[in-house]
Amino acid sequence: MKLCLILNVIDPKIGGVMIMGDRGTGKSTTVRSLVDLLPEITVVAGDPFNSDPDDPELMSEEVRLKVQQDQPLPSALVKINMVDLPLGATEDRVCGTIDIEKALTEGVKAFEPGLLAKANRGILYVDEVNLLDDHLVDVLLDSAASGWNTVEREGISISHPARFILIGSGNPEEGELRPQLLDRFGMHAQVTTVKDAELRVKIVEERGAFDQDPGEFREKYLGPQSELQQQITEARVRLPGVKIEHELRVKISRVCAELDVDGLRGDIVLDGHEQGRQGAGGAPGPRRGVAQGHPHRDPELPPPPAEEGSARVDRFGAAGGGEV
| CB-count burial class (<10 Å; 0-12, 13-18, 19+) for 272 | buried
Comparing CA positions, the residue from 252, 265, 239, 279 lying closest to residue 15 is: 265
Count of Cβ atoms closer than 10 Å to residue 242 Cβ: 15
What's the rounded Cα separation, in Å, for the pair 319 and 267? 14
CA-based angle 44:50:56, to the nearest 5? 70
Dihedral over alpha carbons 313, 273, 3, 281 (to 10 degrees): 110
Say if CB 162 and CB 124 are below 8 A apart: no
What's the rounded Cα separation, in Å, for the pair 11 and 275? 8
Three-class SS state of 101: helix
Question: What residues are annotated to the active site?
Answer: 265
What's the rounded Cα separation, in Å, for the pair 174 and 125? 18
What's the rounded Cα separation, in Å, for the pair 206 and 202? 6
30: DSSP letter:
H
What's the rounded Cα separation, in Å, for the pair 79 and 229? 12
What's the rounded Cα separation, in Å, for the pair 214 and 227? 20
Say if CB 285 and CB 321 are below 8 A apart: no
